[in-house]
Amino acid sequence: MNEIEDQSPVEEIARVERQYTSRRLSAADQGTLSLGGLYTKVRRIVLQPSVPGSEQQYASVPIGTIDGVSLIVAWPSDADGLLPLKQYQEVKVKFFYELNLMMFNSSIQSLVFQPRPHIHLEWPREVSSVEVRDVSRLRVDRPSSFNPTPSDDMHTPMPVIGKILDISHQGAGFFCEQDKLSIGEEGSLLIAIWPDKDQPPIPFRAKAIVAARNEIKRMSPPGWMYGLEFPSLTSQERLFIWALMGETLEMRREG
């Protein structure tokens, strides 16, 4: 996704938005975001000025922040001529962060032209996000553990205890109260289902890689959400995920 983003962030964001037009985007899904630190890690953003009858969007580069006050961005490099921008005008700001498309509404505090043109945007009150995937995940709430792959024969890391909040055949959202995992870390995910209440649970263990990491402050208790990817699933593991999804949907119907 990074290569596409570097080439054309406007088109890539438009594609993702079309994919998720039926979904409600909420900041509560990702928690309260520390935009200052997150913003410094973003390379490209997209600005969409609020102009009647126009949906034009422009690619820009973040410059920095005055935390809690303003976001500073470069003058869009792909703009031909003068932009339809003025002070206090409303704008939509969008950018990719790891596996998420982040969005918020802002307004232009000031347009600066010397020594180089740049824009000061109002600090947003709420940031919405949606995780970008080719396959949607089913919401679940199931105790689980992530077992990191040992780095050597002398040390076996302790399993990270948490719970799965969503899952598909591509990956899962793993929540933990402590910050225990790093992006790129490999291991195995362990879950259990009870297809028959009179029988012991059936364990599921599959190889997984940590692909995303976000702090979640709005949950009780707060913690960390890790985006896990399944690099390869056996046919038996795929059947297990189908069974877990079916069990979850059945429980919702009964509830």
CB of 163 closer than 8 Å to CB of 141: yes
- Residues 216 and 92: their CA atoms lie apart, in Å, by 24
- pLDDT above 90: residue 160: yes
pLDDT of residue 121: 94
Query: C-alpha distances in angstroms, 67 versus 16, 33, 87, 164, 254?
Result: 28, 13, 20, 33, 48
| Confidence at 165, pLDDT banded by 50, 70, 90 | confident
Q: What is the CATH number of domain 2-131?
A: 2.30.110.10
Which of 163, 181, 168 lies closest to 237 in space, CA to CA? 168
Q: Is the pTM of this model over 0.95?
A: no
- Residues 222 and 176: their CA atoms lie apart, in Å, by 9
CATH code 2.30.110.10 region(s) in the chain: 2-131
CATH class, domain 138-254, is mainly beta
Six token digits for residue 162: 């948490």
CB of 204 closer than 8 Å to CB of 221: no
Return the higher-pLDDT residue of 34 and 199. Answer: 199
- pLDDT above 60: residue 117: yes
- Residues 42 and 129: their CA atoms lie apart, in Å, by 14
CATH code 2.40.10.220 region(s) in the chain: 138-254
Q: Is residue 58 exposed (0-12), middle (13-18) or buried (19+ Cβ within 10 Å)? A: buried
Share of the chain above pLDDT 70, in %: 80
- pLDDT above 70: residue 80: no
